[in-house]
Structure 1
Amino acid sequence: MMEMMRATRALGAFVRGVGLGDVDDAGVDALYQALIEHQVLFLPGQYLEPADQAAFGRRFGELGQRHHSYVTHPDSEDVVVLDWQPGDRPDAAEWHSDMTFTQEPPFASILQAMLLPPVGGDTLWASMYSVHDSLDSGFRRDLETLSATHDPGAFRNGPFASGGTESMNEMLSNVGSAVWPIISHHPVTGRPYINVSESNTRWIIGVGAPESHRILSMLFASTNRPDHHVRLRWEPGTVAIWDNRATQHYAVSDYAGHRRMMHRVAVARDTRLTSVS
Structure 2
Amino acid sequence: MTRADIRVTRRADALGAEVTGVDWSTEVAEETVARLRKAWLEHHVLVFRRQRLSPERLLAFGQAFGELERVATYSGLEGHPEIMPLVKEPGDRLNIGEGWHIDSTYRERPPAGAVLYAIDVPPKGGDTLFSNMYLAYETLSAGMRRLVDGIEVVHANGFLGDAAAREERQAQQSMKLRIKAKVETARHPLSRVHPETGRKCLYVNKMLADGGMIANLADMTVEESAPLVNYLCEHAARDEFTLRVTWEPGMLVLYDNRCLQHNAPNDYHGYRREMWRLSLAGDNPG
Give the TM-score taking structure 1 as reference length: 0.89
Q: Check if 1:12 corresponds to 2:16.
A: yes
Query: Which structure shows the higher helix fraction?
Result: 1
Kept in 1: contact 2:128–2:263 (CA 8 A): yes
Kept in 2: contact 1:102–1:175 (CA 8 A): no
Kept in 2: contact 1:100–1:150 (CA 8 A): yes
Kept in 1: contact 2:159–2:166 (CA 8 A): no
Alignment of 1:153-232 (within 5 A): 153-154=158-159, 160-162=165-167, 174-198=182-206, 199-232=212-245
CA distances 1:137-159 after superposition (whole Å, capped 9, x unpaired): 11110111101111124455777
CA drift at 1:75: 3.5
Query: Which structure shows the higher strand fraction?
Result: 1
CA drift at 1:210: 3.2
Kept in 1: contact 2:40–2:46 (CA 8 A): yes
Report what 2:270 is aligned to: 257
Report what 2:253 is aligned to: 240
Q: Distance in 1 between matches of 2:162 and 2:96?
A: 10
Alignment of 1:35-50 (within 5 A): 35-50=40-55
**Aligned pair partner of 1:92 in 74, 94, 97:** 97
Report what 1:120 is aligned to: 125
C-alpha RMSD over aligned residues: 2.2
Sort the Cα spacing of 1:45 and 1:186 in 2 relative to 1 into closer, same or farther, 3 A.
same
Give the TM-score taking structure 2 as reference length: 0.86
Alignment of 1:130-145 (within 5 A): 130-145=135-150
- Gap regions ≥5 residues in structure 2: 170-176, 207-211
Amino acid at match of 1:227: E
Any idea what SS the aligned residue of 2:39 has? helix
* Same amino acid, percent of matched pairs: 33
CA distances 1:70-101 after superposition (whole Å, capped 9, x unpaired): 22111311110011111221131111111111
Give the number of equivalent residue pairs: 264
Kept in 1: contact 2:160–2:166 (CA 8 A): no
Q: Check if 1:62 corresponds to 2:67.
A: yes
